[in-house]
Structure 1
Amino acid sequence: RLAIHVEPGRVRILTRGGHDWTDRFPTIANEATDFGTTMILDGEAVVLDEQGKSSFGALQRALGGRGGHRRADEAIFYAFDLLYFDGHDLTKLDLTERRQILDGLLVDHAGVIRLSEEVEADGDELLAAACAHGLEGIIAKNREQPYRSGRTGDWIKVKCVQSDSFFIVGYEPSAVAHGGIRNLFLAAYKGNDLIYVGNVGTGFNERDATRLRKDLDKLKTSRAPIAFKQRGVVWVQPTLIAEIEYRAWTDDGKLRHASYKGLRERQDNADVYRLPQ
């Protein structure tokens, strides 16, 4: 998520946290200078995969991974709102009016700064179509509201959620988290081996986490059941199978935005997710 601030002779690309990433997106910055007027574009930088879909993993690689400092020359910018234009503050206008101005600015613009597609449709049908095409989900916005920063309820993100079963192979204890569990460490099958697929630290309530901690402590083992090293982890025998919701897989084979939904009532190893060989 980025905001592009365009002024005569100057462009700044700011992250949602206020960091100046102009040097990280030089191609986008260079194109923004050609508009020749003052504006603030609200949108998102993406890197597209071979099917033309935005790829979080590809964007991560372009930026050099977590903590990296590469220049993402291959990134493009999809603008979905216009907050300031030609000396005028547009935030008091409703979304319909702001989009009309943005459409007029970008509808015929070809380059790395592009107009995001706006679709008027039945929400359930559109979400089903987005999920069927492997997209992350949809954003629904109130057309009659002015621009207000933050999660105000004027817009909502509806995700295409995936859910699968994974072994719990360890946990990271905590003195303050629910039930004394900060994170669960998860594994899936790859052939006959167990492979680490990430951890999960959300979705617990205190009662379930306390019960889970007691069950896990009965399964403690001194030897990690996966080829993974990290200090402070209490390893357990791969016996308990958890149902995990997640948004996607990262390029290095880890669950993205995972959330714990509970233990499988049937602890059947055949239910555990199998990674492709």
Structure 2
Amino acid sequence: MAKVPRPPRSKPLLTDESGQLQSRRVRKRNPAQPALPFDPMPDRVEPALALLKQRPPAEGYAWEVKWDGYRIHVHVEAGRIRVLTRGGYDWSHRFPAIVDTAKELGPASMILDGEACMFDDQGRSDFNLLQSSLGADGRRSGNLVSPAIMMTFDLLYFDGHDLRGLEYHARRHLLEDLLQGKEGAIRLSEEIDADPVDLLDHACRLGLEGIVGKKRDSVYRSGKTGDWIKCKCVQSEAFLIVGYEPSVGSFGGFRSLQLAAYRGDDLRYVGSVGTGFKERASLALRTSMDKLPWKRKQPPVPYSGKRKVIWIQPTLIAAIEYSAWTSDNKLRHPSYKGLREVQDNAEVYRLGENEGT
């Protein structure tokens, strides 16, 4: 007895079984997304920020030098390089050396996190040099470019993979492999294996700004979460300029700047700064203050002083170094470092939300 043939387990590939077998047409890969179907590259990432501490914890953190410059993210995509500031502005045209080096890191897509810096003749990052390279106190725009380099300390995205969910030590390992043996304007911010207390003391003796620590087992989280901390040799923060004390015998025609910080949603007067001004920076600063849309008779902050002050719109943000805070929340021994640009999205100091106030 002949066996009854079994029905096919699946349908034939072609309706006409005698027809020629053909494969489906393959679509061309989108070069802007080289790692599909993996993670799409974020258009922008809010940076992780370091929380100020007076003394470093003993364990659990990786330590490196604190660089004094502009925080940037470099986005490397197919045929496109972007250098984004904290405010989300593209400064690629202002940092051509960084862009040129980023092109050599491809073709993989990536997001690098770091600081754009200029260095003095002793190898220390210098915010004033960076400002000067971008124009007088950073206020002139146009075709001005800077030869700044990027000190790179994190890798947030690489070759189609979003790395923000990885622990820091794993991201760091990938970053070191990526930048190993590379030269140019993108450099690795080296980890330093030392006791953090001794490291901070040594950094201060060398005239550095301080040190930064990152939890080795932490994922990348935007904002001040405590995963990243900073310990400073000299305090340096951003404050709003709310007025100036005029003087006919000083560069720029002012004797001092009146400064304010936030307490909640309100501004509070934190004292004045009258040192640290150079001729060119003073003239540029006065020009910037004169361009503000209006001046006011009444101060924008509670003020009980006796100085003759020209009060201005609280728009300009100054970088200020100082030694400590007084008991009534005034800056002790402040010194002017330069103006922070709007595109840099400098965070104005908040009283009560930072240690040491």
Please say whether Structure 1 and Structure 2 have the same fold, judged by a TM-score greater than 0.5.
yes
Please tell me whether Structure 1 or Structure 2 has the larger radius of gyration of its CA atoms. 2
Q: Which residue of structure 1 aligns with residue 130 of structure 2?
A: 59
CA RMSD of aligned residues (A): 4.0
Matching residue's letter, 1:83: L
**Would you tell me which structure has more helix in proportion to its own residues?**
1
The alpha carbon displacement at 1:250 in A equals: 2.4
- Sequence identity, in percent? 43
CA distance in 1, matches of 2:159, 2:210: 33
Q: Secondary structure at the match of 1:153?
A: strand
Instruction: Give CA deviations for 1:240-270 in whole Å, capped at 9, x if unaligned.
Output: xx77446865279xxxx9999xxxxxxxxxx
Q: Which residue of structure 1 aligns with residue 83 of structure 2?
A: 13
Matching residue's letter, 1:250: K
- Report 1:70-109 matches (<5 A): 70-109=143-182
Distance verdict in 2 for CA 1:79–1:112, change over 3 Å: same
- Report 1:219-234 matches (<5 A): 220=306, 230-231=310-311
Stretches of structure 1 that go unaligned for 5 or more consecutive residues are 189-197, 199-208, 233-241, 261-277
Number of aligned positions between the proteins: 215
Instruction: Give CA deviations for 1:190-221 in whole Å, capped at 9, x if unaligned.
Output: xxxxxxxx9xxxxxxxxxx98xx66x4xxx36
Residue 184 (structure 1) aligned with residue 260 (structure 2): no
Distance verdict in 2 for CA 1:112–1:182, change over 3 Å: same
Stretches of structure 2 that go unaligned for 5 or more consecutive residues are 1-70, 237-244, 246-254, 276-284, 286-300, 313-325, 340-347, 352-357
Among 120, 126, 137, the residue aligned to 2:210: 137
Distance verdict in 2 for CA 1:108–1:84, change over 3 Å: same
Q: Secondary structure at the match of 1:152?
A: strand
The alpha carbon displacement at 1:9 in A equals: 1.1
Q: Which residue of structure 2 aligns with residue 272 of structure 1?
A: none
Distance verdict in 2 for CA 1:84–1:128, change over 3 Å: same
Q: Which residue of structure 1 aligns with residue 186 of structure 2?
A: 113
Highest RCO, 1 vs 2 (Cα 8 Å, sep ≥ 6): 2
The alpha carbon displacement at 1:8 in A equals: 1.4
The alpha carbon displacement at 1:26 in A equals: 1.1
Aligned residues of 1:246 and 1:259 also touching (Cα < 8 A):
no
The TM-score, its normalising length taken from structure 1, stands at 0.65
Q: Which residue of structure 2 aligns with residue 268 of structure 1?
A: none
CA distance in 2, matches of 1:56, 1:230: 28
- Report 1:193-204 matches (<5 A): none
Aligned residues of 2:274 and 2:335 also touching (Cα < 8 A):
no
